[in-house]
Structure 1
Amino acid sequence: VHGLLMMKDMKMSKSRGNVISPLPLIEQYGVDALRYYLVREVGFGSDGQFTPEQFVERINNDLVNDFGNLLNRTIAMINKYFDGVTPKYSGSVTKFDEALKELTMATIKEYENDLDDLKITEAFIKVNNLVSRANKYIEETSPWTLAKNIEKKAELASVMAHLTNVLFVLGILMQPILVESSNKLFAQLGIGDDLRKYENIYKFGLIEGTQINKGEILFPRLEVEKETVFIRMLMGK
């Protein structure tokens, strides 16, 4: 249950001609994208904004640039450096590894606490913060530099193992709203149905030795002007 959907501080209503049906949005962008937007922009029991510009920006920033890009980069590096097989997890090798693992486990706890308190938007903001932190972790560890030094092979493997396991956790946490996309993520990481259980997110390092299956991009980038015009057309504007 949520409050009213607003269009630039004005309630959506048929009389104002600013109502939009979810069905054409789902057909164009997928149900995952629409669910994600509503969860992020409309707090439980509160009013929320919907504008074409906000919708496109949220999808591009959070799902394309952050979440989708994290998966794409990780898969590309595992394919390049480890012949498409996820490395064995051998604990945290560097302070960056340990920091990412600690944040992952803390995010799980905070996510659960927020959902228990019906703070749904807050829970997924924390999940998105973990996505951003994992992308920063790639820059901090510079796998492309580690790959040039054979003596850094274990460190490189640790980076890939940490990224794989963080993505697994993200897939589980995002699954209530990104149902189809989470399943695609699991498939691309070679994670079978037997491992896709919520209780497994507490077992950091569980995912190893899986075969990468590079698939289609989870979230194609939206052309801002084109899609904004399209959504406005759906609203009769």
Structure 2
Amino acid sequence: LLDGGKMSKSKGNVVDPYVLAERFGVDALRFFLLRSFPFGSDGNFSNEALINTINVDLANDLGNLVSRTVAMAQKYFGERLPPVQTADEEKDAELTKMVSTLRDKYEEQMEKYAFQNALAEVFKVISRANKYIDENAPWVLAKSEEDRPRLAKVLYNLLETIRICGGLLKPFMPDTAAEIARRLGDARTDWDSLTGFGVLPADVATVAGPALFPRIDVEKELAALEELNKPPVPALQIEPYSEEKVDFDTFCKSDLRAVKVKDCQPVKKSDKLLCFT
């Protein structure tokens, strides 16, 4: 469905997936379709819903989590975290437990082809990780030398969360998952490595990069897509040349006059008629 109605060539409202993939990327388009619609069922598609999903889930939630965490790791510790960190604290428990059990919940949904639910489980953890940043305020911990081991632990927990979430997103967004692993020093993301918390080396190396999913200006993009979806103007139909000739008697009945055109104006409420004077 498109905006609540069926797509139809006769209506001229068929969505071209090649255009969408070129503008937004194959990963983002695939993610939107599997995140928004139950697998094997009809869904209500709209360009606005696609753009909003990219902005909220991919740019705000996933993209910001990766960008902020890697940026803070590099700002406070350079390319590598220190190998010595503090032990987990009570306020780490909720996040680490969610991450440790994520693969099993994800696998349960994937085996039922409930891709929508599998992605929902991953993004619950991503949302919790963003909240974890605000709760622990790494920028405050960085002000005290005594808090640097704790700062390293907070950033490690975030990087390990990103590693596991990125690995589980691989079937949906393979290119994005590969880029996330690259930014974590080509971290392991094979299936066996996603079952527990703590696979990432303590002195993990990080690599900076541009935003995974830049935010999209909704109004401008919708206008551009509407322009692209306009049906092409039909070519002017010209009657083929005819070999048929007029006989002399008919020609003599014709009233032929020579005129001088002084003005030409379009006829109101008509796309084709012109008024000559």
Instruction: Select which of 17, 25, 35 maps to 1:22.
Output: 17
| Structure 1 spans left out of the alignment, 5+ residues | 1-5
The yes-or-no answer on 1:136 pairing with 2:146 is no
Q: How many percent of aligned residue pairs carry the same amino acid?
A: 37
Q: 1:116 to 1:35 in 2, by over 3 A?
A: same
Q: Tell me the CA shift for residue 157 of structure 1.
A: 1.1
Aligned-partner SS, 2:48: helix
Instruction: Select which of 207, 210, 216 maps to 2:204.
Output: 210
Aligned residues: 230
**Which moved further from structure 2: 171-180 or 209-218?**
209-218
- Given that 1:87 and 1:158 are in contact with CA atoms closer than 8 Å, whether structure 2 keeps it comes out as no
Which has the larger helix fraction?
Answer: 1
Larger Rg: 2
| Structure 2 spans left out of the alignment, 5+ residues | 232-277
Give the structure, 1 or 2, with the largest relative contact order (CA under 8 Å, sep 6 or more): 1
Q: 1:28 to 1:118 in 2, by over 3 A?
A: same
Q: Tell me the CA shift for residue 23 of structure 1.
A: 0.6
Cα distance in 2 for residues equivalent to 1:61 and 1:228 = 16
Partner of 1:51: 46
- Given that 2:164 and 2:189 are in contact with CA atoms closer than 8 Å, whether structure 1 keeps it comes out as no
Which letter does structure 2 place at the counterpart of 1:167? Answer: I
Cα distance in 1 for residues equivalent to 2:9 and 2:80 = 54
- Given that 2:101 and 2:195 are in contact with CA atoms closer than 8 Å, whether structure 1 keeps it comes out as no
Cα distance in 2 for residues equivalent to 1:191 and 1:210 = 10
Which letter does structure 2 place at the counterpart of 1:129? Answer: K
Cα distance in 1 for residues equivalent to 2:111 and 2:216 = 34
Aligned-partner SS, 1:62: helix
Query: Superposition RMSD on alpha carbons, in Å?
Result: 1.6
Cα distance in 2 for residues equivalent to 1:37 and 1:140 = 30
- Given that 1:88 and 1:161 are in contact with CA atoms closer than 8 Å, whether structure 2 keeps it comes out as no
Give runs of aligned pairs for residues 197-236 of structure 1, distance below 5 A: 197-208=190-201, 209-236=203-230
Q: What's the TM-score, normalizing by structure 2?
A: 0.79
- Given that 1:52 and 1:232 are in contact with CA atoms closer than 8 Å, whether structure 2 keeps it comes out as no
Q: What's the TM-score, normalizing by structure 1?
A: 0.91
Cα distance in 1 for residues equivalent to 2:109 and 2:175 = 23
